[in-house]
Amino acid sequence: GAVVSQHPSRVICKSGTSVKIECRSLDFQATTMFWYRQFPKKSLMLMATSNEGSKATYEQGVEKDKFLINHASLTLSTLTVTSAHPEDSSFYICSARLSDTQYFGPGTRLTVL
Amino acid sequence: AQSVAQPEDQVNVAEGNPLTVKCTYSVSGNPYLFWYVQYPNRGLQFLLKYITGDNLVKGSYGFEAEFNKSQTSFHLKKPSALVSDSALYFCAVRARNAGNNRKLIWGLGTSLAVNP
């Protein structure tokens, strides 16, 4: 139980384009999901907390107009990286909260050329 | 301020030997404590958590951790390491009264290498 999927697992895009990443809780409903960014050999950086049916809560320093989050259902949250630039290249990981525990997706490797 | 420290960037242990990955925390009130493991190019997998009750918590893959309130520690342990345990380990904490946000505070991770 408590399986979270992410799609795509890997994406390469040109600078200036937008990329959408989906995060799904497969066997449970998640009122709250989280979006993280991870740099090589570094810890996780929380970008935002996604709440179903309401606006996401962004961490300080994260541009909400650049990283659009939508949590339209209890099993799906999406992160759209708008007008992507090479510095946005990273490993993006989502998690979904079930009770007191966060369960993580497998991550999405974004490369912006 | 809430924080989590994993004092060792890397831990090396021989296969079959016991392993310990250290974690200390600072949080107001009683904590919720978690350990996660990350294999290369993958997301994090939940290992175990301490919420309340017995200070010794047993989790997946033979791992366990002991909550020590006086030392504010939550070290991860395994009696006999396997080569397949080689991965990146993260400790995380949140305050019990964190409200609806409930975001976790993360350690920087400890890379565990188990040598055959």
Partner-chain residue, chosen from B41, B103, B111, that has the shortest CB–CB distance to A49: B103
Average pLDDT over residues A12-35: 96
Residues A9 and A22 sit within 8 Å (Cβ to Cβ): no
Residues in Cβ contact with B54 at an 8 Å cutoff, skipping those fewer than 6 apart: none
The mean pLDDT of chain A is: 94
Cis-peptide into B79, omega within 30 deg: no
Give the pLDDT score at B99.
61
Whole-number pLDDT of residue A1: 74
Q: Which of A27-41, B46-60, B90-104 has the lowest mean pLDDT?
A: B90-104
pLDDT at residue B98 in the model: 59
Buried-exposed string B7-40: b where 16+ CB fall within 10 A, e elsewhere: ebeebebeeeeebebbbbbebeeebbbbbbbbee
Residues of A in contact with B113 (CB under 8 A): none
Nearest to B96 by CA among B67, B76, B75, B71: B67
Q: Which residues of A touch B107 (CB under 8 A)?
A: 43
CB of A43 within 8 Å of a chain B CB? The answer is yes
- What average pLDDT does the segment B36-55 reach? 92
Q: What is the pLDDT of residues A31-47, one digit of tens each?
A: 999 999 998 877 899 99
CB contact under 8 A, A97 and B42: no
Pairing of strands A10-13, A108-112: parallel
User: CA–CA separation, A36 vs B47, rounded Å?
Assistant: 19
Q: Chain B: residue nearest A34 by CA?
A: B103
Q: How far apart are CA A14 and CA A12, in angstroms?
A: 7
